[in-house]
Amino acid sequence: MAERTATPPVQRGGDAAIGSGHPILNAGRGQPNWIASTPREAFFLLGRFAVVEATTASPHPEWGVTPARSGIADRLTTWLEGDSSGGAAFVASAVAYGEDKFGFDRDDWVFELVRGVLGDGYPSPNRMLTHIEKVIERYLLAAVGAKTVESGRFQLFATEGGAAAMAYVFRSLQENHLIKPGDKVAISTPIFTPYLQIPHLEDFGLDVIDIHTKRHAAHRFTGGVLDQLLDPAIKVFFVVNPGNPDSRTITADELHELHDLLAGRRPDLIVVADTVYATFIDEFRGLVVDSPRNVICLHSFSKNYGATGSRLGFVAIHTDHVVDELLAAQDPATLLRHAERYRSLTSDVASLSFMSRLVADSREVALHDITGLATPDQVQMGFFALAYLMPTGRDYINAIHQELAAREAALFGPLGLQAPGEQESMYYALIDLQDAMTIAHGTRATRTMIDSVDALGVTHALAQDHGIVVLPGQIFDADSWDIRISLASLTVEELGRVGRAIKSVLERIARDTDDPSRVVPVRRPASQL
Q: What is the pLDDT of residues 68-90, one digit of tens each?
A: 999 999 999 999 999 999 999 99
- Residue at which a domain ends, from 380, 405, 432: 380
- In Å, what is the CA distance from 298 to each residue of 158, 267, 316, 484, 490? 10, 20, 6, 23, 26
The span from the CA of 89 to the CA of 428, in Å, is 33
The span from the CA of 252 to the CA of 412, in Å, is 27
The span from the CA of 25 to the CA of 492, in Å, is 12
Indicate the pairing of strand 25-26 with strand 154-160: unpaired
The span from the CA of 277 to the CA of 243, in Å, is 8
The predicted structure's pLDDT at residue 438: 96
Q: Residue 153 is part of a domain; what is its CATH number?
A: 3.40.640.10
Residue 73 sits in which domain range? 37-121
The span from the CA of 246 to the CA of 107, in Å, is 45
Share of the chain above pLDDT 90, in %: 84
* 1 assigned to some structural domain: no
Average of pLDDT values for 168-195?
95
Q: Does one domain contain both 351 and 478?
A: no
The span from the CA of 181 to the CA of 198, in Å, is 12
Q: Does one domain contain both 306 and 425?
A: no
Look at residue 43 and tell me whether its pLDDT is greater than 80: yes
The span from the CA of 46 to the CA of 40, in Å, is 10
CB 139 within 8 A of CB 285: no
Predicted confidence band at 420 (pLDDT cuts at 50, 70, 90)?
confident
Got the DSSP string for 169-202?
A: HHHHHHHTTSS-TT-EEEEEES--HHHHHGGGST
Q: Does one domain contain both 234 and 375?
A: yes
Q: Does one domain contain both 13 and 70?
A: no
Look at residue 4 and tell me whether its pLDDT is greater than 80: no
Give the total number of structural domains in the chain: 3
- Residue at which a domain ends, from 121, 148, 167: 121
Look at residue 479 and tell me whether its pLDDT is greater than 80: yes
318-337 pLDDT, tens digit each: 999 999 999 999 999 999 99
* 388 assigned to some structural domain: no
Q: Does one domain contain both 233 and 159?
A: yes
* 166 assigned to some structural domain: yes
Element (H, E) at 333: helix 332-341
Average of pLDDT values for 487-515?
91
Q: Does one domain contain both 219 and 328?
A: yes
Half-sphere exposure of 455 (CA within 13 A, CB side): 21
258-312 pLDDT, tens digit each: 999 999 999 999 999 999 999 999 999 999 999 999 999 999 999 999 999 999 9
Phi, psi for residue 264 in degrees, rounded to 5: -100, -90
Got the DSSP string for 249-261?
A: PPPHHHHHHHHHH
3-state secondary structure 402-414: HHHHHHHHHHHHH
Q: Does one domain contain both 430 and 358?
A: no
- Residue at which a domain ends, from 95, 121, 147: 121
Q: Does one domain contain both 483 and 467?
A: yes
